[in-house]
A = this chain, B = another copy of it.
Amino acid sequence: MIPFNKPYLTGKEIVYIEDAVKKGKISGNGYYTQRCHDFFEKKYGFNKCLLTTSCTDALEMAAILINIKEGDEVIMPSFTFVSTANAFVLRGAKIVFADSRSDHPGMDEEKLEALITAKTKAIVPVHYAGVACDMDKIMSLAHQYNLFVIEDAAQAIDSFYTGKDGIRKPLGSIGHLAAFSFHETKNIISGEGGMLVINDKSFAQRAEIIWEKGTNRSAFFRGEVDKYSWVDIGSSFLPSEIVAAFLWAQLENIEDIQKVRISHWEKYYNELQDWALKNEITLPVVPSYATNNGHMFYLVCKSIEQRQAIIDKLKSKDILAVFHYISLHSSVFNKTNNIIPELNQSDKYSDCLLRLPFFYELNIREIIEAL
């Protein structure tokens, strides 16, 4: 059986976990957590990073930081994971779902302005498949209407956006805040895991407090206060050093991992051109302002029936291809609690998008021959 995903190990994960254990500290915010923070801050120029137990938790931190209150509206794509929405719903927000682009599952930047009301507090672009949303357009709207932008960069590690100024910026460095995932299905993994990036410096101090369960413990350890106590809301957002040590082994090998994954993606893309054309299937589009980070390879089939036929065909050859999100606007939860907008593009990706097996040790040829 060829699975859809297979976690890739660099070989040093266990070594570093053993070392973390030997260092005598396995709760959070120790040596390996710091190494991971430093890595991201240096490599991608992120202002401040905080590892979290999941990308969900990073999004929840963001919702707390921007002070989401009952009735605030948050705009995001419908074609996304539940956590993008739940992180804000937990703080009382009403979610306003945007449709996807016709050429890409990311949200249609042209349709955003019509969704903004006096209650809108934030826009959450999701860089689907690691491909950038058009951030110039989104940041400009945010500036005009005084909104926060929180990048859901769960799938977007080591991916870039080049805006009108011609400067290539890493995804996660553009919004006020950004959230990454290290779930085992991602490029860089720690089983479960995530990270909040704080680009807007005004959030940095409070982010540290919220991360440390609402206490000023970090300031205490820096000697800035003489005892630490309860100063804010917060949660236990930080992962153990065991998780951070695992992650560090992955980060050390990010160049190699990315090279292999991007080469897989290109092989799929090049070798499936004729087959796709013949079968009226659309291959992924990467706009000129975006890069491809080798996170995922998907097909957009012409119908739900065609998609099912491909799933069945691959399954008969012991290959697992899987669809993705059921658009949130048509979920049971949204139907019960919110209005149901008509989002045709989002529905299209729910019905017709199919993800092919994608992992480091994959032999692409086997999949291509089976299609």
Hey, which bits of chain A sit against chain B, CB under 8 A? Answer: 3, 6-7, 9, 13-14, 17-18, 21, 24-28, 53-57, 60, 70, 81-83, 85-87, 89-90, 183-185, 189-193, 213-215, 227, 229-236, 238-243, 246, 326, 328, 331-334
Task: Give the number of times this chain occurs in the complex, counting copies.
Answer: 2
**In the complex the two chains form, is A193's CB within 8 Å of B14's CB?**
no
Known A-B contacts: A7-B21, A7-B25, A230-B333. Give 6 more (CB < 8 A).
A25-B184, A28-B192, A56-B213, A82-B215, A214-B333, A229-B333
B235 touches A56 (CB 8 A): yes
Shortest Cβ distance from A183 into B: residue: B27
A319 CB, min distance to chain B CBs, angstroms: 16
A9 to B17 CA separation, bound complex (whole angstroms): 13
Cβ 8 A contact of A238, one of B83, B86, B192, B326: B192
Q: Is the interface of A mostly helix, strand, loop or mixed?
A: loop
Q: Do B331 and A190 touch across chains, with their CB atoms under 8 A apart? A: no
Minimal beta-carbon separation of A63 from chain B (angstroms): 11
Known contacts A241-B191, A242-B242, A86 near B24 by CB under 8 Å: no
Flag if A189 contacts B26 (CB, 8 Å): yes
Q: CA–CA, A334 to B6, complex, Å?
A: 47
Contacts of A326 in B (CB 8 A): 227, 229-230
Residue of B at shortest CB range from A9?
B21
Contact of A334 among B230, B235, B240 (CB under 8 A): B230
Question: Are A86's CB and B235's CB within 8 A?
Answer: yes
- Please tell me which one of the listed residues B25, B87, B232, B243 contacts residue A333 in the complex, with CB atoms under 8 A apart: B232
When C-beta atoms are compared, the residue in chain B nearest to A330 turns out to be B229
Inter-subunit contact B236/A56 (CB<8 Å): yes
Q: Which of B27, B235, B242 contacts A246 (CB 8 A)?
A: B242
- Output the least CB separation between A26 and chain B (Å): 4
Q: Please, which residues of chain B bring their CB within 8 A of the CB of A83?
A: 213, 235-236
Bound complex: CA of A183 vs CA of B28, how far in Å? 9
Q: For the complex, what is the distance from the CA of A334 to the CA of B55, rounded to whole Å?
A: 30
Tell me the complex Cα distance, A82–B6, Å: 39
Could you give 15 example pairs across A and B, Cβ below 8 Å?
Answer: A7-B21, A7-B25, A7-B26, A14-B17, A14-B21, A27-B184, A27-B192, A28-B192, A53-B57, A56-B235, A57-B235, A70-B70, A87-B235, A192-B238, A214-B333
Write the nearest CB–CB distance from A338 to chain B, whole angstroms.
11
- How many whole Å from A88's CB to the nearest CB in chain B? 10
Q: Are B90 and A240 in contact (CB under 8 A)?
A: no
A156 to B328, CA, bound (A): 40
Contacts of A56 in B (CB 8 A): 213, 235-236
The reply to whether B28 and A191 contact each other, CB–CB distance below 8 Å, is yes
Least Cβ–Cβ distance between A29 and chain B, in angstroms: 10
Q: For residue A242, which residues in chain B have a CB less than 8 angstroms away from its CB?
A: 17, 190-191, 242-243, 246
